[in-house]
Chain A
Amino acid sequence: VTTILFVDDEPDVLRSLERALHRDASRWTMVFACGSEHALTALRRVSFDAVVTDIRMPGTDGARLLTFIRERHPTTRRLVLSGDVGPAAVESLKGVAHALLAKPCPIYDLRRAIEAALAEAAA
Chain B
Amino acid sequence: MPIVHADRDYSHVMRRTNAASAVGALAIQVLTVLSVSGNRAAMAWVVGTALLLVPFNIFVTAVLLPKLGGRAEVLRAAANVVAGFVVGHVAGWPLAHWLWLPYIAVTFDDFKDRTIWTVLGAACVGDAIISISDGVSWQIPLSFAVAAIFFRVITAGRMHTIREMLVDSHTQRAELDEAHSSLKRAHARVQVENEARLDAERDLRQVHKLEAVGRLAAGIAHEINTPLQFIMNSVQFIEEGTLDLLRLVEEARPSAALSDSDAEQVHFLRNELPDAIATTADGVTRVADIVATLKEFSRPEHRASAPVDVNRTVEAALLVAKHEYKYVADVETRLDDVPLVSGHAGELTQVLINLIVNAAHAVADVAGPENRRGRIRVHTMRSGDEVVIGIEDSGVGIPTENVHRVFEPFFTTKEPGRGSGQGLALAKTMVERQGGRLLFVSDPAIGTTFMVRLLIADVAARPSEAA
Residue on B nearest A101 in the bound complex, by CB: B229
Chain B interface: which of A35-43, A79-87, A113-121?
A79-87
The interface residues of chain B lying within 8 Å CB-to-CB of A15 are 230
| Residues 2-48 of A contacting B (Cβ, < 8 Å) | 10, 12-13, 15-17, 19-20, 22-23
Q: How many residues on chain A are close to B (CB under 8 Å)?
A: 25
Give the CA-CA distance A106 to B292 in the complex, in Å: 15
Q: Which 10 pairs show the lowest CB-CB distances between chains A and B? A: A83-B225, A16-B233, A104-B228, A16-B230, A103-B225, A83-B222, A103-B229, A20-B233, A19-B237, A84-B222
| A90 is an interface residue with CB less than 8 A from chain B | no
The contact of A20 among B218, B223, B236, B300, by CB within 8 Å, is B236
Hey, which bits of chain A sit against chain B, CB under 8 A?
10, 12-13, 15-17, 19-20, 22-23, 54, 56, 81-84, 86-87, 102-108
| B33 is an interface residue with CB less than 8 A from chain A | no
B230–A86 touching, CB < 8 Å: no
Give the CA-CA distance A15 to B229 in the complex, in Å: 11
A107–B226 touching, CB < 8 Å: no
A104–B231 touching, CB < 8 Å: yes
A83–B232 touching, CB < 8 Å: no
The contact of A19 among B233, B285, B288, by CB within 8 Å, is B233
| B221 is an interface residue with CB less than 8 A from chain A | yes
Given A83-B221, A105-B232, A107-B232, does the pair A10, B226 have CB atoms closer than 8 Å? yes
Given A87-B300, A104-B229, A105-B229, does the pair A56, B222 have CB atoms closer than 8 Å? yes
Give the CA-CA distance A23 to B300 in the complex, in Å: 42
The interface residues of chain B lying within 8 Å CB-to-CB of A56 are 222
Give the CA-CA distance A40 to B57 in the complex, in Å: 125
B225–A104 touching, CB < 8 Å: yes
The interface residues of chain B lying within 8 Å CB-to-CB of A16 are 229-234, 237
B300–A83 touching, CB < 8 Å: no
The contact of A83 among B223, B237, B240, B281, by CB within 8 Å, is B223
Question: What are 8 inter-chain pairs, A to B, with CB distance below 8 A?
Answer: A16-B229, A17-B230, A17-B233, A20-B236, A20-B240, A54-B226, A84-B221, A108-B236
A104–B222 touching, CB < 8 Å: no
Chain B interface size band reads 20 to 34
| B299 is an interface residue with CB less than 8 A from chain A | yes
The interface residues of chain B lying within 8 Å CB-to-CB of A86 are 218, 295
The interface residues of chain B lying within 8 Å CB-to-CB of A104 are 225, 228-229, 231-232, 284-285, 288
Give the CA-CA distance A114 to B449 in the complex, in Å: 45
Give the CA-CA distance A54 to B230 in the complex, in Å: 13
Give the CA-CA distance A2 to B272 in the complex, in Å: 38
A87–B222 touching, CB < 8 Å: no
Give the CA-CA distance A22 to B233 in the complex, in Å: 11
| Residues 280-306 of B contacting A (Cβ, < 8 Å) | 281, 284-285, 288, 292, 295, 299-300
A45 to chain B, nearest CB (A): 27
B233–A102 touching, CB < 8 Å: no
B299–A12 touching, CB < 8 Å: no
| B224 is an interface residue with CB less than 8 A from chain A | yes
The interface residues of chain A lying within 8 Å CB-to-CB of B234 are 16, 19-20
B237–A87 touching, CB < 8 Å: no
A84–B299 touching, CB < 8 Å: no
Give the CA-CA distance A15 to B237 in the complex, in Å: 11
Give the CA-CA distance A15 to B299 in the complex, in Å: 33
Give the CA-CA distance A104 to B295 in the complex, in Å: 15
Given A56-B222, A87-B300, A104-B288, does the pair A22, B237 have CB atoms closer than 8 Å? yes
Give the CA-CA distance A29 to B254 in the complex, in Å: 37
| Residues 74-92 of B contacting A (Cβ, < 8 Å) | none
Residue on B nearest A12 in the bound complex, by CB: B230
The interface residues of chain A lying within 8 Å CB-to-CB of B285 are 104
A10–B222 touching, CB < 8 Å: no
A79 to chain B, nearest CB (A): 14
Give the CA-CA distance A17 to B233 in the complex, in Å: 6
Query: Other than the known A83-B228, A104-B288, what 9 A-B pairs have Cβ atoms closer than 8 Å?
Result: A12-B230, A13-B226, A16-B233, A16-B237, A20-B236, A20-B237, A23-B240, A81-B229, A108-B236
Residue on A nearest B295 in the bound complex, by CB: A86
| B227 is an interface residue with CB less than 8 A from chain A | yes
Residue on B nearest A108 in the bound complex, by CB: B236
The interface residues of chain A lying within 8 Å CB-to-CB of B240 are 20, 23
B347 to chain A, nearest CB (A): 14
Give the CA-CA distance A104 to B224 in the complex, in Å: 9
A11 to chain B, nearest CB (A): 9
Give the CA-CA distance A81 to B228 in the complex, in Å: 12
| Residues 229-260 of B contacting A (Cβ, < 8 Å) | 229-234, 236-237, 240
